[in-house]
Each structure stands twice: as C-alpha cells, then as structure tokens.
Amino acid sequence: MLSFPKPIKLSSNCSRWPLSRLEQYEAERVGHEYKQRLPADEVYLSDYQVAARYNVHKNSVWRWARVGGGA
C-alpha cells in the first residue's frame, strides 16, 4: 500500500520532508514513472510548505505522516 512519506528528523525540534520523496509519492499515486533527483538538487520542505503544496492545514500533513494517509 502506498503511504505518505515520513519526515526526516534533522534535530530535536526540526523535521523536514525531502521534496524527492513527495514527488515520488505523487508520481506513484497517479501511476507515473518517477525521475530521481540528483542529491545536489534535493530540497527539504517544512510542514507549512508541505501543507501549502497540498492546500491543507499542517496538522493534516502530520496526521498523514503518522497514519500513512495522504492527499
């Protein structure tokens, strides 16, 4: 089953989602092939940025990450 990506914990109070994981999740969700990003091109998004990407509240993003749901 496809589940929403978990964030990477960068410090005790800082978690970020790699954009490549979100793009891979989106591609798999609609059945497209995902073209991997180069490590040098990786971008990390905050919960606010991920929420804005999916037009939801940041609490929804954390719920998706916790239970595996998604946009």
What digits encode the pLDDT tens for the residues 1-33?
688 999 999 999 999 999 999 999 999 999 999
In a domain, 1, yes or no: no
Strand, helix or coil at 22? helix
Instruction: For residue 48, give its domain range.
Output: 8-67
Q: Is residue 3 part of a domain?
A: no
> What pTM does this model have?
0.87
The domain total for the chain is 1
Q: Is residue 38 part of a domain?
A: yes
Q: Which of 68, 67, 69, 50 is nearest to 58 (CA)?
A: 50
How far is Cα 44 from Cα 29, in angstroms, rounded to an integer?
20
How do residues 37-55 score in pLDDT, each as one tens digit? Answer: 899 999 999 999 999 999 9
